[in-house]
């Protein structure tokens, strides 16, 4: 009986020592002194742990968390908490995955505070639901004790019944000059509402360029992160050769919910003047080039006069006919003719004597 009591006593002392070590290893002198949340233009201040944020957010919107952490050691204790890092996690909001952000590490002296701001973009493809937000802070004090703080919130993502969004618009090419056909406009539409859209149509127009396209697209389902919620299509068109130089906004309208709702975007097409595009520097006279040079070329008793433009860097000289290459060539030809005539005469005389 005495042995059993001694064992229980020893076990109790061991548990006590372990609890003391845990208490020492994880302190509570790091805490969140204030947490604010900004949604749209509204800021909700000093939220306590476990609060469901009263302001709802929507797909594609930005939510801002401002977490203020405090070193609760007194000035008299004078203990600094070092390498503090704050992390904010919105759990399961991104197709089942978390969105996380972490701060850089920093130190806090005793009885001081620091506020860190985190901005999250709510995914466009998201289920309407409530999501947990976990805000954590951790650092280590000068006594090598790990200091931790934690608070939890809940945020609501709400969705409109009917809402389509143009998430991509791409002109290829964006600038045209002489070639004004085979222009392509690629468009991608996403359903970010709660309801399926059964009859979606599109209108693409610019009256100055003569663009007027209408098309029935059919249905786009409300299935976040599924292929049925997205529709992509490319349209090819041309513009008139007489379209003047300038920038032209091409209007894109998507109509849905029995044409009671419209989503609009614009894509800008730049048109350059074709004549300017084909002008090359080689067609313009170079600097310093002016009057032509008159060259006299010899011929059989008649001079040919023409105006030619000297090549850049060429050196022009004037020669008399007697010193020209043409005169030398003529002399050589005459000498050859005399030799041929002499040979012919000699052969004739030789035959007569024979």
Check whether residue 173 and residue 210 sit in a common domain: yes
Check whether residue 78 and residue 125 sit in a common domain: yes
**What is the b/e burial string over 187-217, where b = at least 16 CB atoms within 10 angstroms of the residue's CB?**
bebbbbbeeebeebebebebeebebeeeeeb
CATH classification of the domain holding 131: 2.70.50.60
Check whether residue 126 and residue 183 sit in a common domain: no
In a domain, 302, yes or no: no
Of 300, 256, 98, whose CA–CA distance to 166 is shortest?
Answer: 256
Check whether residue 201 and residue 269 sit in a common domain: yes
Domain total in the chain:
2
- Domain end marker among 221, 241, 276: 276
Check whether residue 267 and residue 193 sit in a common domain: yes
Q: How far apart are CA 107 and CA 84, in angstroms?
A: 6
Q: How far apart are CA 336 and CA 329, in angstroms?
A: 11
Check whether residue 117 and residue 191 sit in a common domain: no
In a domain, 76, yes or no: yes
Q: How far apart are CA 127 and CA 225, in angstroms?
A: 9
Check whether residue 117 and residue 171 sit in a common domain: no
Q: How far apart are CA 64 and CA 45, in angstroms?
A: 12
pLDDT, tens digit, 9 for 90 and up, residues 93-135: 999 999 999 999 999 999 999 999 999 999 999 999 999 999 9
In a domain, 289, yes or no: no
DSSP track, 118-161: EEEEPPSS--SEEEEEEEEEEEEETTS-EEEEEEEEEEEE---S
- Domain end marker among 112, 142, 157: 157
Check whether residue 100 and residue 178 sit in a common domain: no
pLDDT for position 27: 72
pLDDT for position 276: 72
Q: Domain range holding 104? A: 28-157
In a domain, 294, yes or no: no
DSSP track, 42-97: EEE-SPPTTEEPSS-B-TT-EEEEEEEEEE---TTT---EEEEEEEEEEEEEETTE
In a domain, 242, yes or no: yes
Check whether residue 136 and residue 173 sit in a common domain: no
Per the listing, tokens 């995914």 go with: 123
Of 54, 63, 68, whose CA–CA distance to 89 is shortest?
Answer: 63
- Domain end marker among 157, 187, 216: 157
In a domain, 217, yes or no: yes
In a domain, 226, yes or no: yes
Check whether residue 47 and residue 92 sit in a common domain: yes
CATH classification of the domain holding 187: 2.60.40.10
Residue 9 in 3-state DSSP?
helix
Check whether residue 101 and residue 195 sit in a common domain: no
Name the stretches of the chain with pLDDT < 70.
1-26, 277-354
Check whether residue 255 and residue 182 sit in a common domain: yes
In a domain, 13, yes or no: no
pLDDT for position 202: 98
Of 108, 72, 66, 107, whose CA–CA distance to 88 is shortest?
Answer: 66
Q: How far apart are CA 117 and CA 94, in angstroms?
A: 21
């Amino acid at each position: 009986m005495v042995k059993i009591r001694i064992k229980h006593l020893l076990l109790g002392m061991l548990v006590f020592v372990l609890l003391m070590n845990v208490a020492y290893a994880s302190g509570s002198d790091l805490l969140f002194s204030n947490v604010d949340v900004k949604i749209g233009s509204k800021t909700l201040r000093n939220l306590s742990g476990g609060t469901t944020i009263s302001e709802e957010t929507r797909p594609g919107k930005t939510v801002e968390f401002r977490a203020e952490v405090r070193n609760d050691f007194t000035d008299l204790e004078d203990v600094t908490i070092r390498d503090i890092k704050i992390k904010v996690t919105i759990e399961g909001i991104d197709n089942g995955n978390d969105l996380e952000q972490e701060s850089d590490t920093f130190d806090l002296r005793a009885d001081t505070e620091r506020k860190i701001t985190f901005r999250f973009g709510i995914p466009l493809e998201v289920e309407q639901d409530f999501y947990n937000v976990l805000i954590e802070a951790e650092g280590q004090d000068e006594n090598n004790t790990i200091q931790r703080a934690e608070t939890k919130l809940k945020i609501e993502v709400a969705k409109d019944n009917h809402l389509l969004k143009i998430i991509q618009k791409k002109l290829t090419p964006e600038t045209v000059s002489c070639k004004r056909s085979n222009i392509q406009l690629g468009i991608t539409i996403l359903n970010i509402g709660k309801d399926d859209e059964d009859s979606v149509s599109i209108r693409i127009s610019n009256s100055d360029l003569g663009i007027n396209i209408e098309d029935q697209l059919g249905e786009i389902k409300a299935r976040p992160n599924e292929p049925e919620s997205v529709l992509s299509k490319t349209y090819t068109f041309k513009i008139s050769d007489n379209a003047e130089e300038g920038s032209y906004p091409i209007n894109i309208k998507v109509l849905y919910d029995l044409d009671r709702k419209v989503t609009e975007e614009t894509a800008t097409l730049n048109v350059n003047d074709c004549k300017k595009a084909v002008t090359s520097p080689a067609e313009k006279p170079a600097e310093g080039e002016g009057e032509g040079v008159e060259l006299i070329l010899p011929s059989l008793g008649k001079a040919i006069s023409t105006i030619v433009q000297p090549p850049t860097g060429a050196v022009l000289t004037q020669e008399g006919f007697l010193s020209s290459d043409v005169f030398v060539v003529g002399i050589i030809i005459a000498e050859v003719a005399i030799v041929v005539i002499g040979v012919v005469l000699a052969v004739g005389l030789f035959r007569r004597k024979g």
